[in-house]
Structure 1
Amino acid sequence: MESDDTAIDEVLTEVGPRLKRIRTRRGMTLTALAEATGISKSTLSRLESGQRRPSLELLLPIARAHRVPLDELVGAPETGDPRVRLRPRRRGDGSTVIPLTQQPGSIQAWKTLFPAALHEPRVVTHEGYEWLYVLAGRLRLIVGDHDLVLEPGETAEFDTRLPHWFGSTGDGPVEILSLFGRQGERMHVRAAPHSRRKLG
């Protein structure tokens, strides 16, 4: 019977090739992964080739960048459970984002909860296309020159290369579903326009 140390070594040996397969499947370069994780390109290369022993400190940011469970990186056995592990993330503006998809792909689904507090719009642009559906509350949506309020049950879709922002109108919390591609993860902040028509 093999020792625990031998079994662990065998698992760790497989981590490097698995990291490379996941990165390649996502179409991500080592340079892009280094930017997303803060880990140097040379360290990532050594990890994938097996020259660097994987550690939790290195694997956690890689798992976050790929948006996959840590056990997928280390090759934990499949449980066969199709349920998505919901891991809410709190953002700086007070909103909570809940990923509804766990596998990398061209389309990702999210549920977002915005607090009732009214925030100054921070308009952003990025490559891709976004679809929103309001579950509850009133959503303020700014896209280009449009400044709109969406009620529960209303849907919007737009080219995310246009300056846009969405959040609570200040009347109460808002809950939405959104779909967008992985290229939408990297955003570029623009200054909010000074003049916007007032909400009714």
Structure 2
Amino acid sequence: MNNLGERIKDARIRAGLSLRGLARQADVSPSFVSQIENGKSQPSVATLYGFARILDISVDELFDERSAGQAPLVDGWGPDGENNPINAWVPSEFSSRVSVVHPAHRAHLEMADGVRWERLAATPEQGMAFLRIIYAPGATSTAGGDLVGHEGYEYGYVLKGMLEVTIGAEVFVLKEGDTLGFDSTIPHVLRNIGDDEFIGVWFVHSRRHGAPHPPS
């Protein structure tokens, strides 16, 4: 779980919300919120969207920086690695505005039903998320397959597998090499309808400052 529950709890406390208050606004049971905060359950993608909106935080804040930072250097990569291109600017002002990440150092989140987000790059820019997303066979972005909308625009590129994307009344089946883009305020849901793992590169840019929402 990479302490995701602890980070949600910390954000809730900073926002001045009780456990029951968060549950009420997210339309889930207090016991479910407690299970998530204690690491006994994993939230769905849609539930995490709701928490981020209610707590007025960026989903980026919920990624576990420690899990990425503790990974050993690979072939000279990492913050101080000799092969990290960012070092071409050190000690330049640009070093704080460039993000280069080796696969072994990606911060990530594990969601319910076999959904995983890997952050591909992180800069100080607010309201955006650049991710590699992985869906296990049968995995969906919402429990029960409900359609959910959120702020922003969403763009995706399929690297592997098959993904069914329902946007409003339209249903699209994406395969390797396919791309899409849509207004994320339209209720939608993603589902891996294939027999193999789905992998894609996703970019979401929010209209609302400070509240990016990764792909649903």
TM, length-normalised to structure 2 = 0.50
In structure 2, the residue matched to 1:107 is 128
Q: 1:8-52 CA distances to partner (integer Å, 9 max, x unpaired)? A: xxxxxxxxxxxxxxxxxxxxxxxxxx998123368xxxxxxxxxx
- C-alpha distance 91-63 of structure 1, shift in aligned 2 (>3 A): closer
Cα offset for 1:107? 3.0
**1:52-63 matched pairs, under 5 angstroms:** none
In the alignment, is residue 65 of structure 1 matched against residue 61 of structure 2? yes
CA contact (8 A) 1:118 1:170 kept: no
Give the alignment partner of residue 129 of structure 1, picking from 153, 162, 172. Answer: 153
Separation of aligned partners in 2, 1:104 and 1:66: 15
In structure 2, the residue matched to 1:39 is 13
CA RMSD in angstroms, aligned pairs only? 3.5
Cα offset for 1:66? 7.2
Give the alignment partner of residue 115 of structure 2, picking from 82, 85, 95. Answer: 95
Tell me which amino acid in the other structure corresponds to 2:121. T
Sequence identity, in percent? 22
Separation of aligned partners in 2, 1:158 and 1:138: 18
In structure 2, the residue matched to 1:142 is 166
Cα offset for 1:96? 1.1
Separation of aligned partners in 2, 1:176 and 1:62: 21
- Greater C-alpha radius of gyration: 1
Separation of aligned partners in 1, 2:59 and 2:177: 34
Structure 1: where are the runs of 5+ without partners?
1-33, 43-60, 71-77, 190-200
Q: Higher relative contact order at CA 8 Å, sep ≥6: structure 1 or structure 2?
A: 2
Separation of aligned partners in 2, 1:147 and 1:63: 27
Cα offset for 1:103? 1.8
Separation of aligned partners in 1, 2:120 and 2:162: 22
Ranges of 4+ aligned residues in structure 1 off by more than 4 Å: 61-64, 66-70
- C-alpha distance 178-35 of structure 1, shift in aligned 2 (>3 A): same
- C-alpha distance 175-66 of structure 1, shift in aligned 2 (>3 A): closer
In structure 2, the residue matched to 1:8 is none
Q: 1:84-138 CA distances to partner (integer Å, 9 max, x unpaired)? A: 2302321012111101112232432100111113554232111110001110111
Aligned residues: 130
Separation of aligned partners in 2, 1:171 and 1:155: 20
Tell me which amino acid in the other structure corresponds to 1:37. A
- C-alpha distance 158-173 of structure 1, shift in aligned 2 (>3 A): same
- C-alpha distance 97-40 of structure 1, shift in aligned 2 (>3 A): closer
Separation of aligned partners in 1, 2:9 and 2:63: 15
**1:7-26 matched pairs, under 5 angstroms:** none
- C-alpha distance 41-172 of structure 1, shift in aligned 2 (>3 A): closer
